[in-house]
Amino acid sequence: MKRCLSDKALMRLQAGDGSAEQRAHLSACGACGDRYRRVDRELETVRHVLLHTDEPSMLVVARRPSWVPVAAVAASLVTLAVWGHLAVRRPDAPASAMRPLPDEEASVFLRNVSLTMFSIDGRLAGSGPDIQVGGLPADTLDRAADCEWPEWSATGACGEAPDTGRLLNLFEPPQNDL
Amino acid sequence: MIGDGQANVERPPTYEELFEEHGRRLDRLCRLLLADREESREVVQEVFLKLHQAHSQPQPPGDWGAWLTRVAINVCRDRHRAGWWWRFRRRSDRIEDATLVSREPTPEEAAISKETWRRIWVAFRGLSDRQREVFVLRHLEGWPTETVARTLGLSAGSVKRHLFRAIRHLRAAAVGGSA
């Protein structure tokens, strides 16, 4: 190596780093040797200050933490809380699976369920006047709705004697399917 | 008498001798690493408490000086990790004490210009924790690079890199330039 070492290279050598070539140059070059010793003297000054002098009191005071980090953390938390609150209450937020149904919608839904449960041959029980349940007249169910068990009978109005034979027909398949 | 003399040469150092020999050095080391006089005193007390426990062990460490330094560095690191809120509370409580610090400069301080002295301390406090530890152990304690690396759990190359950055920063402060 013919060129003199840079300051950076000298400090690397001070730190125990640097290549063998740089070390060889340092031992051969008088100018670089002088510069290296100057760096050493400067570091000796640093050592002396750190070992034998007290730290300036103003540094101790200046290093004391201020309210800035505390305020920054608090502001972040408040922002997060406000954002979370707004996100939950946003009107255009996607509908939740747990959204309660309106009364009207619920009643339509329940009616459909009950009609489906009492459907016969795929036809809804309340879908037309021609539908008969197990051979009963169409108005039987309407009349039965006005009665309370056990007063209701399959044939008559409230208070009449029940006709159990007709009632059992409810659970038998219609004749025309056979 | 000869037998007593031989026994004296081979006997391990007592607790009091170790305290006498290393107490001030560890206090200075902790003050450099923690930058807090009160806290460094607490750390030194903790280190010597550990020494008291280790001293009665059947197999004590061979090199008490290195052992004490290692323990002191670990306790200082624990203090750093203890959380900023705890440190903030402690420092905030003592703000009145710090403003009372005022004294005449020592002859060493007078020999070095006040500006250089201040710049060096500012630069030293501007180092990262790792750079500060490496510089203190390598240049102020005079440890070899390999021992510093082993103690801090770093590779030798990493120690050299940290040391180079610390030297560049501190040298710039000593000559009055910027790193």
The pLDDT of B129-145, averaged and rounded, is: 92
Question: What's the pLDDT score for residue A1?
Answer: 63
Lowest mean pLDDT among A65-74, B37-46, B164-173: A65-74
Interchain CB contact of B38 with A (< 8 Å)? no
Choose between A106 and B108: higher pLDDT: A106
The model's pTM is 0.58
The number of C-beta contacts closer than 8 angstroms across A and B is 106
Q: Which residues of A touch B174 (CB under 8 A)?
A: 42-43, 45-46
Choose between A144 and A9: higher pLDDT: A9
ipTM confidence score: 0.75
Question: What's the pLDDT score for residue B56?
Answer: 81
User: Hey, which of A53-67, A83-97, A111-125, B13-27 has the most confident mean pLDDT?
Assistant: B13-27
Minimal Cβ distance to B125: which of A51, A63, A65: A63
Lowest mean pLDDT among A136-145, B25-34, B64-73, B90-99: B90-99
The pLDDT of B37-66, averaged and rounded, is: 86
CA-based torsion, A48, A50, A56, A57: positive or negative? negative
The pLDDT of A91-114, averaged and rounded, is: 72
Task: Map residue A83 onto helix, strand or coil.
Answer: helix
Lowest mean pLDDT among A155-159, B50-54, B128-132, B135-139: A155-159
CA distance A147 to B38: 91
Choose between A120 and A52: higher pLDDT: A52
Token pair of A81 as six digits:
């809380």
Model confidence at B26, pLDDT cuts 50, 70, 90, reads very high
For residue A13, give the chain B residue with the closest CA.
B164
CA distance A156 to A141: 11
**Contact between chains at B106 and A53 (C-beta distance less than 8 A):** yes
CA distance B101 to B104: 10
Lowest mean pLDDT among A87-91, B32-36, B96-100: B96-100
Q: Give the C-alpha distances (Å, rounded to integers) separating B158 from A10, A129, B74, B80, B131.
A: 18, 92, 19, 21, 10
Q: DSSP letters of B127-169?
A: S-HHHHHHHIIIIIS---HHHHHHHHT--HHHHHHHHHHHHHH
**Contact between chains at A48 and B160 (C-beta distance less than 8 A):** no
- Min Cα distance A45 → chain B (Å) is 7
What average pLDDT is seen over chain B?
Answer: 80
β-pair partners for A120: A123
Interchain CB contact of B178 with A (< 8 Å)? no
Question: What's the pLDDT score for residue B176?
Answer: 79
- Min Cα distance B118 → chain A (Å) is 7
Residue A109 pLDDT greater than 70, yes or no: yes
Interchain CB contact of B99 with A (< 8 Å)? yes
Peptide bond before residue A69 is cis, with ω within 30 degrees of 0: no
Residues of chain B above pLDDT 70, percent? 76
Choose between A4 and B88: higher pLDDT: A4
Interchain CB contact of A47 with B (< 8 Å)? yes
Model confidence at A95, pLDDT cuts 50, 70, 90, reads low
Q: Which residues of B touch A8 (CB under 8 A)?
A: 168
Residue B17 pLDDT greater than 80, yes or no: yes
CA distance A57 to B125: 13
CA distance B65 to B80: 23
Question: What's the pLDDT score for residue A107?
Answer: 86
Question: What's the pLDDT score for residue B114?
Answer: 84
Q: Give the C-alpha distances (Å, rounded to integers) separating B68 from B40, B49, B58.
A: 14, 11, 18
Question: What's the pLDDT score for residue B5?
Answer: 45
Lowest mean pLDDT among A35-44, A53-62, A147-156, B25-34: A147-156
CA distance B37 to B24: 13
Model confidence at A123, pLDDT cuts 50, 70, 90, reads low
Lowest mean pLDDT among A85-94, A106-115, A133-142: A133-142
The pLDDT of B137-149, averaged and rounded, is: 91
CA distance B170 to A174: 103
* Beta carbons of B171 and A42 less than 8 angstroms apart: yes
**Contact between chains at A8 and B168 (C-beta distance less than 8 A):** yes
